[in-house]
Structure 1
């Protein structure tokens, strides 16, 4: 019974370890948008911190 549970987990782990582009191609645009939003906020936070000093 444990083999039935772990077989798909082992398979997916090996698959993503060997060919990570399957997931990276899907999540890439979302991650890029998140990073762009993060970088847009950083200068605003830095300016606010400088204005309070």
Structure 2
């Protein structure tokens, strides 16, 4: 992540840009959270099958 460019948007007077950027960052974080959540579930399931098999 390019935190330098992200911090530039947080200066006063550029609130609109920082809001848009924050929204897109949080959306991608939510997407990543769901991917990790499902990966965790599948990993658990796979481990259970291996353990029982």
Choose the corresponding residue for 2:38, options 34, 37, 44. Answer: 44
Alignment of 1:5-44 (within 5 A): 16=8, 19=11, 22=14, 23-44=17-38
Larger Rg: 1
- Larger RCO: Structure 1 or Structure 2 (Cα < 8 Å, ≥ 6 residues apart)? 2
Structure 1 runs not aligned, ≥5 long: 1-12
Structure 2 runs not aligned, ≥5 long: 48-53
- What RMSD over aligned residues (CA atoms) do the two structures have, in Å? 2.9
Matched positions, count: 39
The structure in which a higher percent of residues are helix is 1
